[in-house]
Amino acid sequence: MKQDILVLSPLEERQMGDLDKRYHLLRADLVKDNDGFIEKNAKDCRAVISTGNIVFDKNLISKLPQVGLVACVTAGFDQVNLKDLKDHKIRLTNTPDVLTDDVADVALMLMLAARRRLVFGDHYVRSGEWAKKGPMALTETTAGKRAGVVGLGRIGHAIAKRFESCGLAIGYYGRHKKPDVAYQFFPSLVELAKWSDILVVAVTGGKETEKLISKEVIAALGNRGSLINISRGTVIDEDAMIKALQSKELETAGLDVYLNEPNINPAFYKLENVVLYPHHGSGTVETRDRMSDLVVENIDAFFADKPLPSEVKL
């Protein structure tokens, strides 16, 4: 008899087909009444496919008395209540590492697009303004500037390497100074922002990092600074950032993440000094395929009572 797997968020088509051959998939992702579907169908399910953006806490766990694994198809798991999982002896997996390069590429893309005004320049050409008005206004060079990385983990390291190739000096902020890293360490986030021309945010989401990039940090970055965020929208005081962009107290921003996605603050639509990307840092065919593969590997290992390839230690 096939084991039940509750699907709150689907994998890529190939991996869903692969799972469907060996397991009984409960497709909650395809119905409108999610709660009703779960209560009616998922009492025997032992594994759940989800994402870090779906709330998974004791309320949901109460409807899943047999669940033993939450397999996230994302690297982040900010909306998963780790204490509730631990209390109920539920294991958690995610998909780290496989998305590092693509997310770091997007950080580089956003930084260059924001500072060199790519979106404005594209419009300047397409609208015919170039022909009418002549060359667009000058932008600032990147080489020789300073980039502060907030969170020098796997993705932060990959971003730093890419930024170095553009001739940027690198500094970083984190919980602790890393003994094997040559970049300049700043124990104060405000001091890092003061030092930086570009501040890129690469920390995890969740309560611990909520509004970590505060009004004070944004002010310290200043009116010639660029703020790049590829982590989570919650990490930045979004209202303070918008006001700073509107008043030009912050020169530019490049954003892949926001509060209330995809229904973001409409104030962003009117800002010419921000580059907007639709939370698509890992959005390549190759990376999403590898992420889905890793979820399947974790599920197979769980049901085979083998070590989980990417278990999150609770």
Residue 47 and residue 93: Cα distance in Å, rounded?
Answer: 11
Q: Where are the alpha helices (DSSP H) in 98-153?
A: 100-115, 118-126, 129-133
* Paired strand residues for 253: 227, 274
Identified catalytic residue from 91, 157, 279, 288: 279
* Residue that has been written with the tokens 């390839």 in this structure: 309
Residue 92 and residue 197: Cα distance in Å, rounded?
Answer: 38
Report how far Cα 179 is from the mean position of its chain's Cα atoms: 26
Q: Is 88 a catalytic residue?
A: no
Q: Is 140 a catalytic residue?
A: no
CA angle at 188 for the pair 182 and 190, rounded to the nearest 5°? 115
Report how far Cα 288 is from the mean position of its chain's Cα atoms: 14
Identified catalytic residue from 91, 232, 238, 251: 232
Identified catalytic residue from 261, 272, 280, 286: 261
The alpha carbons of the chain give a radius of gyration, in whole angstroms, of: 22
Q: Is 279 a catalytic residue?
A: yes
* Residue that has been written with the tokens 């209202």 in this structure: 239
Which residues are marked as active site?
Answer: 232, 261, 279
